[in-house]
Structure 1
């Protein structure tokens, strides 16, 4: 019996340690996230590593750490903000700071809900998510009931907002709202802090994780015999220009005939494709299908222009 009590006590202590504020660490450990092209370092990185499913709970960093207008060391993430106060890392109370009342949905189900001293209850899948992601120590107390906002069921907590996404797969339908990005945009901080940066570790090479491809014609309408330019723009996951992507553009003329042009993206993330138009049908539509790739990443888009006369 004594050994059982000792075991239970140990489990309780470990549970508390898992969600307690993390002490600032005087080290240079860091990680670079290509998804947003920002670093996490020191105490913030140590805190991040100790969060269950941090990449979905906090999201990726959208700034570097910096001293904000209140003189506090902070770092913004997609879904949260971390701050260093008195040597400890905490989640900022973004739920409290951003809460606006929506259409309230009252639920009375004692078997599926847990009441809190704020007068609000957490229920169903929100309660499961709450328990699995630090509970009071991370999300804080609920400060609203279920509410209907922007065509979605949500619930606010002191440090965040939970959202219900029924179209997502089972087990992924409760999502932390992107209050970090929302609050950053409302604070008056320098927007340039969100600009991508290089890794703190110079040995790390940045990676292109996705290609965003756009194309558009120089002239939306041309003569049946004319000159035209097609511009192809390729950017990465952070909307930075991608150099060296290659591919092809398939031009489908008004007659149904096809012409293929090579695409080579320059250092500015742009390719310019000249087209000679000859004897096309009046009022017809010329379509250009563009496909480009870089390593394992690929992207495609379509544009068009109209033949006038």
Structure 2
């Protein structure tokens, strides 16, 4: 038996014993049961948050956890370097975990822009928020969860601290031209929120824990009560409609705490200046981001008439309306 073989056998035996005792190489997460402990930040990710974390990209998308779960504005949340996880137990299974609107909370929304004259597979305009995602950012956006992870864009690309960046409802994308391997990266909005709004984060949530303590920690995931009101806003594709165009209404529905309200029913009625009916849409449900896009057909009306648009939004026992108007140019 050679000495080299003996050394390899001994090393393998030692590594096996260390792993059995719970040792994990530096830089890797420790996994136990329904949680994963990250020694790098001394925080753990558990349950449905862990499932969402793994499903949508893990460390490369969300970064390390920066807090323990805690209750904020009536929701169980947990902050990561790049995002905020929120528990919405009242939602259907695919949407029980959603990402918080950090881009909106940090006030990075910019005015809507005019849609590009030409669309292509390299550029996509989102009428819901009036911004375009293009080229490498669009490729990264599609490959890493799209709207479910990033939300809709709330700015165009622009320079910031020497980088090309773009803000989304939930995330920030950055272009690092000096990195030929992974030039597109996700910005640390979670860390920025913690820095800006430190007074909103309990000290016990920020404090790290030891891995041995995790078994005794049970995050309090309680049902979120139904909000006392709905908020709805509506935008129309065209303010002046001719016979060659197809009108479309985009309706955004939030609860009164600003969170998206999926599965709300939206129906639109069209009327003329004298109250005469000009059309009624089908009932459409809002998506996970609280958006509904509804095609509108005008029945009747004359050149120069105003068409009044009224969207009625219903969710369980709650109801609200949003209104707009456009001009016929037949």
* TM-score (structure 2 length as normaliser): 0.48
The answer (yes or no) to whether the contact 1:113–1:124 under 8 Å persists in 2 is yes
Number of the residue aligned with 1:160: 171
Residue-by-residue CA offset, 1:241-271 (whole Å, 9 max, x unaligned): xxxxxxxxxxxxxxxxxxxxxxxxxxxxxxx
Alpha-carbon RMSD? 2.8
Is 1:79 equivalent to 2:91 in the alignment? no
Number of the residue aligned with 1:199: 211
- Quick one: distance in 1 between partners of 2:113 and 2:159? 7
Name the SS of the counterpart of 1:95 in structure 2: helix
Name the SS of the counterpart of 1:73 in structure 2: strand
Q: Note the C-alpha offset of 1:71.
A: 2.6
1:190 equivalent among 202, 211, 227: 202
The answer (yes or no) to whether the contact 1:32–1:200 under 8 Å persists in 2 is no
- Quick one: distance in 2 between partners of 1:201 and 1:64? 12
2:124 equivalent among 105, 110, 114: 114
Number of the residue aligned with 2:43: 38
Q: Note the C-alpha offset of 1:154.
A: 0.7
Q: Note the C-alpha offset of 1:93.
A: 0.6
- Quick one: distance in 1 between partners of 2:212 and 2:56? 22
Q: Note the C-alpha offset of 1:175.
A: 0.9
* Structure 1 unmatched ranges of 5 or more: 1-26, 204-309
- Quick one: distance in 2 between partners of 1:106 and 1:175? 27
1:143 equivalent among 150, 154, 172: 154
Number of the residue aligned with 1:131: 142
- Quick one: distance in 1 between partners of 2:135 and 2:158? 14
Q: Note the C-alpha offset of 1:200.
A: 5.2
- Quick one: distance in 2 between partners of 1:202 and 1:120? 43
Larger radius of gyration: 1
Residue-by-residue CA offset, 1:82-102 (whole Å, 9 max, x unaligned): 011234111001111113378
How has the CA–CA distance of structure 1 residues 200 and 45 changed in structure 2, closer, same or farther, with 3 Å as cutoff?
farther
Runs of 4+ in 1 over 4 A off after TM superposition: 104-109, 200-203
Residue-by-residue CA offset, 1:73-128 (whole Å, 9 max, x unaligned): 110000000011234111001111113378x9999674421111122110110000
How has the CA–CA distance of structure 1 residues 66 and 202 changed in structure 2, closer, same or farther, with 3 Å as cutoff?
closer
Number of the residue aligned with 1:178: 188
- Quick one: distance in 1 between partners of 2:115 and 2:173? 16
Number of residue-to-residue matches in the alignment: 174
Task: Please state which structure has a larger fraction of its residues in strand.
Answer: 1
The answer (yes or no) to whether the contact 2:156–2:167 under 8 Å persists in 1 is yes
Q: Note the C-alpha offset of 1:157.
A: 0.7
How has the CA–CA distance of structure 1 residues 140 and 101 changed in structure 2, closer, same or farther, with 3 Å as cutoff?
closer
- Quick one: distance in 1 between partners of 2:211 and 2:114? 47
Number of the residue aligned with 2:65: 61
Name the SS of the counterpart of 1:36 in structure 2: coil
